[in-house]
Chains A and B, each alone.
Chain A
């Protein structure tokens, strides 16, 4: 059994503590009203951040400079693709999900191709591809109010004993990601590449194949996220993924994954996502204005990052 000292030395515990803290603050403010409902809502909303956060985590772990900036555009396009494919019909739900997944996979592969063929930094590659994806989405989904099939939208909002089914999906995904990272050759390779790409290559790890897989994985998760978001919010839109640029990167860092690469943390992604969502919930219950909410969110993120501190490895 791990001792308390050991428990508190794990980086991810702090993000859960932070989430608990902001939840308590919100509950105290409302005098105990809606405490459970707040958690249910937070679990559902946090899942969307968890899904893209996991993808971003694998990418960031590849080492300095690796980041996927195309996630927001990817989510937007996939949401439109999913809703158009489903066409409001229950029988086409599976096909729609597959189409969103395929859309994400293609985007991930295209990102990797740009990085590899043009030998440009991933930031610029995913940035330029996001411009193109965004335009494609605007052109593809324009002027259409695309609604999800009723049963898909209901499914995305289903709860089992107050626990949202999406939350279960998010937990299952995190467990798979944890196993993939810590117990599979793929995950160990990602960590090795992040620690020292040259050494990983010399050790016989197929570096380029692992990088391709990682960008594809991030794209695929973005695609799935787009479809689920469109179901949850009952409709696709171009800017449905906008907030996930910041939040996907923020949860990776707050959750204890090193930006310098080579060190990842799956539980921290969940903790940090809950923290961010509950933080917004708290500020909403306090009834602060939109401007003040943004200001406080920003200050708290900078504060948390500063408190968590950097790692001595540098960029």
Chain B
């Protein structure tokens, strides 16, 4: 650069704010880009019916992404969320259908297991990656024991709920907005939500201020369990039957969704609205867009990788300019 005068403080602050705004908007922008591509390739897809179809499976993915976001907020990672969703799916399609009380108890207990994991990881100072990797075997094993062959059937009320028809706006979009807003207000706007995020940003400070770090871990892992349960139930409500491997892909999708949505692995910097948008982007990009672009199925997984890399590249560019 040849400019002689250094930028004034106000100027640099303005440019920093612009970069920050751009960064916040990035998840929405990438989704808009994907939607534009879809509209261009197949205008008929942009309709009530088209969105209902395209976003059909987006809701369980968004819920699993939110579940992952809770643990990422406190600098942990859950590599078992995919098999957990599968386990919940198997419970939903068998016990919750045949013996609702037992099914509900098992699901509640599994949330308790998550809370216990949070306590274990905190008290023994364990790496969450390894503990949850081990747990992914546990959930998958349980799912296979429960449902050795694909089958079972969803409770009718669940099928009815997931098949809900809302006038004008497709149900998946309504559900996505509700999920994003509820979690946004709970985590970003409430007093205890701030403490929870603080436990990821500066645990020492939160501890010295008198908050129990153990409790924050337990609460966040329990929330992950809760949203994992809802995700598994929503998934079975859509597919109507289960398979022990049904959720396996969700682990990586959920991590990718959180990061696409502007979240970071450390420091308690996450965005619930961004995470939901990130999940929808991945869901849209995963199959509808690729089908319209007639990309062979071989390369569909790669497309997720490319989208992830491009968004992160854009983010790196913006951050460098803003720095």
Contact = CB atoms under 8 A, between A and B. Distances in A.
Given A291-B141, A306-B120, A306-B126, A135 B309 contact: no
Contacts of B266: 65, 315
Given A131-B308, A291-B145, A302 B138 contact: yes
A278 B75 CA distance: 33
Which size class do A's interface residues fall under? 35 or more
B151 interface: no
A22 interface: no
A246 B303 CA distance: 24
Given A293-B141, A299-B134, 16 more contacts: A118-B312, A121-B265, A123-B255, A128-B305, A128-B309, A132-B302, A259-B130, A290-B144, A291-B144, A294-B137, A298-B137, A298-B138, A298-B139, A305-B134, A309-B126, A314-B125
A249 B129 contact: yes
Nearest to A139: B298
B213 to A, nearest CB: 11
B195 interface: no
Contacts of B306: 128, 132
Nearest to A301: B134
A65 B265 contact: yes
A135 B298 contact: yes
13 contacts: A65-B266, A124-B312, A128-B309, A132-B302, A135-B302, A245-B133, A294-B140, A305-B126, A306-B120, A309-B126, A310-B125, A315-B127, A315-B266
Interface string A121-139: 1011001111110111011
B126 A310 contact: yes
B137 A295 contact: yes
In the A-B complex, the 10 residue pairs with the closest CB atoms? A298-B137, A295-B141, A131-B305, A310-B125, A294-B141, A135-B302, A291-B144, A298-B138, A301-B134, A291-B145
Given A253-B127, A310-B126, A127 B142 contact: no
Contacts of B305: 128-132, 135
State the main secondary structure of chain A at its contact with B. Answer: helix
Contacts of A290: 141, 144
A315 B77 CA distance: 12
Contact of B301 (A134, A289, A294): A134
Which size class do B's interface residues fall under? 35 or more
Interface in A7-31: none
A147 to B, nearest CB: 22
Contacts of B308: 124, 127-128, 131
A6 interface: no
Contacts of A296: 141
Contacts of A118: 309, 312-313, 316
Nearest to B120: A306
Interface in B278-318: 296, 298-306, 308-309, 312-313, 316
A201 to B, nearest CB: 19
A312 interface: yes
B255 A127 contact: yes
Given A120-B312, A290-B144, A299-B138, A127 B252 contact: yes
A311 interface: yes
Interface string A18-46: 00000000000000000000000000000
Contacts of A310: 124-127
A138 B316 contact: no
Interface in A160-182: none
B133 A123 contact: no
A135 B301 contact: yes
A309 B131 CA distance: 11
Most chain A CB inside 10 Å of its own CB: which residue of B135, B308, B316: B308
A309 B127 contact: no
B259 interface: yes
B100 interface: no
Interface of B: 75, 77, 120, 124-127, 129-131, 133-146, 148, 244, 252, 255-256, 259, 264-266, 296, 298-306, 308-309, 312-313, 316, 319
A119 to B, nearest CB: 5
Given A128-B308, A295-B141, A134 B259 contact: no
A292 B141 contact: yes
A233 B319 CA distance: 47
B136 to A, nearest CB: 7
Contact of A253 (B130, B256, B313): B130
A306 B120 CA distance: 8
A84 to B, nearest CB: 16
Nearest to A260: B127
B316 A120 contact: yes
A198 interface: no
A124 B258 CA distance: 11
A295 B145 contact: yes
Nearest to A254: B130
B136 A309 contact: no
Nearest to B302: A135
Interface string A252-288: 0100000100000000000000000000000000000
A188 B305 CA distance: 34
B129 A67 contact: yes
Nearest to B77: A123
B130 A301 contact: yes
B304 A309 contact: no
A123 B127 CA distance: 14
B242 to A, nearest CB: 14
A158 interface: no
Contacts of B143: 291
A34 to B, nearest CB: 25
A136 B302 contact: yes
